[in-house]
């Protein structure tokens, strides 16, 4: 995303949401890498949830993570 990410409305909305919410983390590091969340089941279950950031500050839905985690079936030993 590099520099063009700073010109997107959603990025600024996410920034102000975090600022109003009291985010106080450091701003050290690269800062240009988007993240993601994966919930992977045991054995051959595979990926149960995949969330990739589309822009800076794009958050995953906590209820969807919990729902996916509840679907993980223990692997028989």
Mean pLDDT (the chain, rounded): 81
Decide if 16 is inside a domain.
yes
Decide if 63 is inside a domain.
yes
Decide if 61 is inside a domain.
yes
DSSP 21: T
Retrieve residue 11's tokens.
Answer: 């990025």
Per-residue pLDDT at 43 exceeds 70: yes
Give the count of domains, the chain. 1
pTM of the model: 0.62
Decide if 14 is inside a domain.
yes
Question: First CA to last CA across the chain, in angstroms?
Answer: 44
Decide if 77 is inside a domain.
no
Decide if 35 is inside a domain.
yes
Give helix then strand counts, H and E, for the chain. 2, 2
* Sign of CA pseudo-dihedral 61, 28, 14, 17: positive
Q: Which domain holds residue 60?
A: 2-71
């Amino acid at each position: 995303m590099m520099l063009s990410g700073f010109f997107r409305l959603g990025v600024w909305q996410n920034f102000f949401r975090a600022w109003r919410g009291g985010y106080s983390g450091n701003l050290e590091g690269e800062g240009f890498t988007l993240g993601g969340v994966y919930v992977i089941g045991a054995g051959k279950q595979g990926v149960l949830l995949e969330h990739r950031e589309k822009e800076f500050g794009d958050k995953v839905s906590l209820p969807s993570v919990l729902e996916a985690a509840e679907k993980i079936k223990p692997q028989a030993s």
